[in-house]
Structure 1
Amino acid sequence: MDVGTLVNSLFWLFLIFAFLSPYLQRQALEAARTRQILNLERRRKSRVITLIHRQEAISLLGVPLVRYIDVDDSEEVLRAIRLTDPQVPIDLILHTPGGLVLAAEQIALALLRHPAKVTVFVPHYAMSGGTLIALAADEIVMDENAVLGPIDPQIGDAPAASLLALLQTKPIDKIEDTTLIKADIAAKAMKQVAEVAEKLLAKHMDPDKARTTARLLSQGTWTHDYPITVEEARGLGLPVSTDMPREVYALMELYPQTQMRRPSVQYIPTPYGRDRT
């Protein structure tokens, strides 16, 4: 074989490897996730479902996609619940900034109807629609530093509560028709979310407390990205614990962020004890 033929063969081998490598890496990652899920299911004798939204390099070009709760997610979660015996507990691992209200409500109500115990694990954060889903759980297990968030609806890029506040501070004849329409939608959205939240919270507390807490979470009490800590969640009457299984942390490590940019946080990923030399 002459040098030209050898170089040409090596070039095509490299090209094939470059195209197959991302696929093979993703298959290995999926297999590792499956093993970790099975480990957690065996330990807890439950059905484990993950709803994890990260930016992942999921194409050959490594283009990162930002993920939120959508109808595809709700369809898959509902299917997983249907495939689970009514007497089998469900463990849902949540890591999400939120998303579509319709999808979050579908998931939350389906979990509420499941007869066996439902546990939601929040290793880092479950904001907005993620918090709405967590309200359906019999137990919310949070990392000591994890947070939930308010569930007040957002109409486009504006908080629903702020649109309603505008009606109280500005003469109606000075407000554009499109803004008035958005304010009308905002009022309906806030009412609907509060009703769903109240129904979910009635699982944990008396009706008056459920109504008060639902309004606190859904009526724009805080900014939409306000972090509700473990202590605050307990103060609201939510069934929160911090007994997070190590398998959940191990599983989260298998959902890496995109490698498209230089990491802003870096450390040696091993435990350090006090007697380290």
Structure 2
Amino acid sequence: MNFFDIIWFIFIIFAFTPVLQQKYLENMRIRTIRSLEKKMGSRVITLIHRQETISFFGIPLSRYIDIDDSEQILRAIRLTEKDMPIDIILHTPGGLVLAAEQIAKALIRHPAPVRVFIPHYAMSGGTMLALAADEIYLDENAVLGPVDPQLGEYPAVSILQAVREKGIGNVDDRTLILADMSQKAINQVKSTIKRLLQDRMDSEKASFLAELFTSGKWTHDYPISYEEIKNLGISVRKDLPEEVYELMELYPQAGNRRPSVQFIPIPYKLPAKGNK
């Protein structure tokens, strides 16, 4: 073997290693999903949005709920028997209202119980999906978020507030159009949230929660904690299956930068008194 053969051999190894690693991860994910399905007697669907890396250039790519996600989840629901429960593992910053509403409405139409497991966070459209579930499993340190609509870079409620404060006669036509769209978007999302909740609580409480989540009381990235969700009267549990956390480990963050958090990934116990 000459020098150039060695170079080619090394190149082939480096070229195929990421492919093999990805295949290994996919197999481990399927194995963990099947383990959870057997344990829960359900169909398990994951909606996990990590910051990923475009393979060749190593460019970080942020993920969010989009039409592709809704198409895949709707297909998974169609392939599920009507008497089989559905478990969804959610980890998402949110995304398109259209896609989130499609998924949420499909979930509430499923006759069998729907459970949502949130190990870290499910913001915006992710919260909408959580509210569509019959049971919400939320890690005690995980959070949900408001579902107030955003028009471009601005919250819809803030556009309306700006028009109210300046007066209709003191804003341009574009801002008035945005204000009209903002009001429609808020009404639409509020109506959707109320429909998602009204089968599990009285109409007055569903209306109150729909107003709360869409009214702009909080900033769009406000973390609504387990305690706050419970105090709002929404049924929530925190005993997530261990497989959910194991599955999250199989969706690693982009590896093109030095990690900022490191620890030895094994459980620690305090030593018995008297032992060193």
Same fold (TM > 0.5): yes
The 5 Å alignment of 1:72-151 reads 72-151=68-147
Indicate the residue corresponding to 2:19 in structure 1: 23
The 5 Å alignment of 1:166-185 reads 166-185=162-181
Q: Which amino acid aligns with 2:12?
A: I
Indicate the residue corresponding to 1:246 in structure 2: 242
CA contact (8 A) 2:143 2:225 kept: yes
Which stretches in structure 1 are left out of the alignment for 5+ residues?
A: none
Q: Is 264-273 or 93-102 further displaced after alignment?
A: 264-273
CA distance in 2, matches of 1:176, 1:17: 60
Indicate the residue corresponding to 1:230 in structure 2: 226
Q: Give TM-score scaled by structure 1 length.
A: 0.96
CA distance in 2, matches of 1:235, 1:68: 29
Which residue of the other structure, out of 52, 55, 58, is the alignment partner of 1:59? 55
Which residue of the other structure, out of 31, 35, 44, is the alignment partner of 2:31? 35
* SS of 1:195 mapped into structure 2: helix
CA distance in 2, matches of 1:219, 1:57: 35
Which residue of the other structure, out of 161, 164, 168, is the alignment partner of 1:165? 161
Q: Give TM-score scaled by structure 2 length.
A: 0.97
CA contact (8 A) 2:52 2:63 kept: no
Q: Is 80-89 or 58-67 further displaced after alignment?
A: 58-67
CA distance in 2, matches of 1:171, 1:79: 47
Q: Which amino acid aligns with 1:21?
A: T
CA distance in 1, matches of 2:128, 2:116: 11
- What is the Cα deviation at residue 260 of structure 1? 1.2
CA contact (8 A) 2:118 2:139 kept: yes
Q: Is 5-14 or 99-108 further displaced after alignment?
A: 5-14
CA contact (8 A) 1:22 1:60 kept: no
Indicate the residue corresponding to 2:198 in structure 1: 202
The Cα RMSD (Å) is 1.1
Indicate the residue corresponding to 1:215 in structure 2: 211
CA contact (8 A) 1:105 1:132 kept: yes
Q: Is 112-121 or 162-171 further displaced after alignment?
A: 162-171
* SS of 1:120 mapped into structure 2: strand
CA distance in 1, matches of 2:48, 2:227: 24
- What is the Cα deviation at residue 58 of structure 1? 4.5
Which stretches in structure 2 are left out of the alignment for 5+ residues?
A: none
CA contact (8 A) 1:91 1:119 kept: yes
